[in-house]
Amino acid sequence: MTTQNKSSVIRNVNFYYAKLDKPVSPFGTEIYDLQVRFPKERIQEMSAYGKVRQVEDGNYAINITRKAMNAKKQKTPVRVVDGNKNPIKDLIGNGSFGNIIVYQYDWAVSGRTGRKTVLIAVQVTDLIKYVPETEADFDIIEIPSNDNAPSADF
């Protein structure tokens, strides 16, 4: 399989479910995660970077991740910038648009082989800020008075 390790820029994709501000650990290892969406015409191109699947809006998507720590236990955050390469501190909302840089390498473990794609950087050219919902809570319920209730006086 020996293809060379390389970095690539993937341009003009939409971002969904960006978990780049702090790591998540859905399977035990802390990672940064970004869903990248694109139209049907890009399936062949994007299949080189991950498992393509159709999503609810009719587009197609792959998820690209990065481990939150390297082998030396150093934090490895994803670089997130705007169109002028200035750092972005805002959270990235669904539907934001831009480019990503990924790094790919071949791996072999216990007789199995594959190609891994790692998220290196995100350039947001059209930011839709993510605004977390305020805490969920119950509404106040007005209990209707029951004027026809029998009197408790005996």
What pLDDT is attached to residue 52?
98
Chain centroid to CA 97: how far?
A: 13
User: Is the whole model's pTM more than 0.85, yes or no?
Assistant: no
What pLDDT is attached to residue 150?
58
What pLDDT is attached to residue 139?
77
Q: Which amino acid is at 132?
A: P
Which regions in the chain score pLDDT beneath 50? 1
What pLDDT is attached to residue 145?
65
**SS3 state at 17:** strand
Q: Give the C-alpha separation, 41 to 32, whole Å.
A: 27
Q: Would you call 117 exposed, middle or buried from its count of C-beta atoms within 10 A (0-12, 13-18, 19+)?
A: buried
What pLDDT is attached to residue 41?
98
Could you tell me if 36 and 62 are in contact, meaning their C-beta atoms sit under 8 angstroms apart? yes
